[in-house]
């Protein structure tokens, strides 16, 4: 039988009730960096997604880029997340945590006075929120070999805490101009050692992080998010994007991944890329493919039924519609999202959207 958007399936070892994925969505509702009871309600409400990918959770104190985002590097944070996973599982859902290191997209005021780190000492020339105002991101320092190895240990530690918290797996955030994306691209990585220069060298950090996570979780429980044609956070478009990400995907194919989650085009923006290139990269992916960015109901139905994607991720639609799978299956109207309430605040614009009936 042909798969449909509403049929059960598998993402690696993770069984899913439908092919609708809740995309990772930064909401800035953790003022102490620890998941709150309000976050428990938020994720419980959306447990009918085939899979929830949580908002990015920083893997260490220096990995944070924005105020009020939750982490996964302390026992207290793991205990907070355990309440989230229990609520989602009790409601019949599946949930993985997105592991996040922002690299240079940060400011000392967010990371307890530390200097942000990056593959190279190049500014992101972007903005971040420090809890009071939007501020220019700081000039980072170039990571040493010891910094890199320590970061792999941070990924493994976060993965272990995620397992302890009861998640069904983890997603490595390698997209949107954050640390791993910064290592991948020649626009942000000007190193001349083993972590820069050639495409193979620039892919080493991504693969080291993936291997650290698989070392904790084993096969079929680790996914990765990529955004080949996105200039998010001013990361720049690599000089040889097709070759770079073709090589990265080829190396990822040698690992037992749960899924590859691809931002198609500009993150949250136009679905633009050189003709045929993203399609070529998608065809190279051996793991289950999660399509992301600007999908309508009709596009999602077609992507799954045609076999172009195993599942489709929705972001803003899940913010405003906790019962999105039911609405899409019935082709019911969708609540419009309240963009002014996306970041920070309390229950308003977070857990108060109406459901059908």
How do strand 311-314 and strand 141-142 relate by DSSP bridges?
Answer: unpaired
C-alpha span between 112 and 108 (Å, rounded): 6
> Which H or E run includes 203?
none
The CB-side HSE value for 268 (13 A sphere, CA atoms) comes to 12
As a whole number of angstroms, the distance between CA 307 and CA 4 comes to 9
| Sequence-separated (6 or more) residues with CB below 8 Å from residue 296 | none
Burial 159-175 (b: 16+ CB within 10 A, else e): bbbbbebbbbbbbbbbb
- Does residue 208 sit in helix, strand or coil? helix
- Containing 180, the helix (H) or strand (E) segment is helix 179-184
Q: Which residues are catalytic?
A: 178
Q: Which of 65, 96, 103, 285 is nearest to 205 (CA)?
A: 103
CA-to-CA separations, 232 to 63, 143, 225, 236, 342, in angstroms, rounded: 17, 21, 14, 8, 18
Distance of alpha carbon 7 from alpha carbon 230, whole angstroms: 30
- Compute the distance between CA of residue 91 and CA of residue 248 in angstroms, rounded to an integer: 36
Q: Which position has the token pair 């069904």?
A: 168
From the number of C-beta atoms within 10 Å of its C-beta (0-12, 13-18, 19+), residue 132 rates as exposed
Please tell me what DSSP assigns to residue 29. -
Interacting residues of 71 by C-beta distance below 8 A, sequence separation 6+: 33, 34, 57, 58, 59, 60, 61, 63, 64, 77
């Amino acid at each position: 039988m042909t798969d449909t958007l509403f049929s059960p399936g598998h993402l690696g070892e993770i069984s899913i009730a439908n092919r609708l994925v809740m995309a990772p969505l930064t909401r800035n509702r953790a003022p102490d960096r620890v998941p709150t009871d309000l976050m428990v309600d938020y994720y419980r409400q959306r447990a009918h997604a085939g899979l929830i990918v949580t908002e990015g959770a920083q893997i260490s104190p220096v990995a944070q880029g924005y105020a009020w985002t939750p982490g996964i590097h302390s026992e207290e944070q793991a205990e907070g997340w355990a309440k989230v996973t229990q609520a989602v599982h009790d409601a019949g859902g599946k949930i993985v945590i997105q592991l996040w290191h922002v690299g240079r997209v940060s400011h000392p005021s967010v990371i307890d006075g530390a200097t942000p780190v990056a593959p190279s000492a190049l500014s992101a020339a972007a903005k971040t929120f420090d809890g009071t105002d939007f501020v220019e991101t700081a000039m980072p320092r170039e990571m040493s070999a010891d910094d890199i190895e320590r970061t792999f240990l941070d990924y493994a530690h976060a993965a272990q805490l995620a397992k302890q918290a009861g998640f069904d797996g983890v997603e490595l955030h390698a997209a949107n101009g954050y640390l791993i994306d910064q290592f991948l691209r020649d626009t942000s990585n000007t190193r001349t050692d083993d972590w820069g220069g050639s495409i193979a060298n620039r892919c080493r950090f991504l693969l080291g992080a993936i291997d650290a996570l698989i070392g904790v979780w084993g096969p079929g429980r680790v996914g990765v998010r990529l955004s080949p044609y996105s200039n998010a956070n001013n990361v720049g478009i690599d000089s040889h994007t097709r070759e770079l990400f073709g090589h990265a995907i080829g190396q990822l194919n040698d690992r037992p991944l749960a899924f590859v989650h691809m931002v198609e085009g500009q993150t949250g923006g136009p679905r633009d890329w050189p003709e045929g290139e993203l399609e070529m990269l998608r065809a190279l992916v051996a793991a289950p493919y999660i399509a992301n960015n600007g999908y309508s109901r009709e596009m999602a139905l077609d992507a799954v039924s045609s076999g172009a994607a195993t599942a489709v991720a929705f972001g803003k639609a899940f913010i405003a519609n906790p019962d999105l799978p039911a609405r899409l299956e019935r082709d019911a109207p969708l609540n419009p999202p309240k963009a002014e309430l996306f970041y920070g605040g309390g229950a308003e614009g977070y857990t108060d959207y109406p459901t059908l009936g």
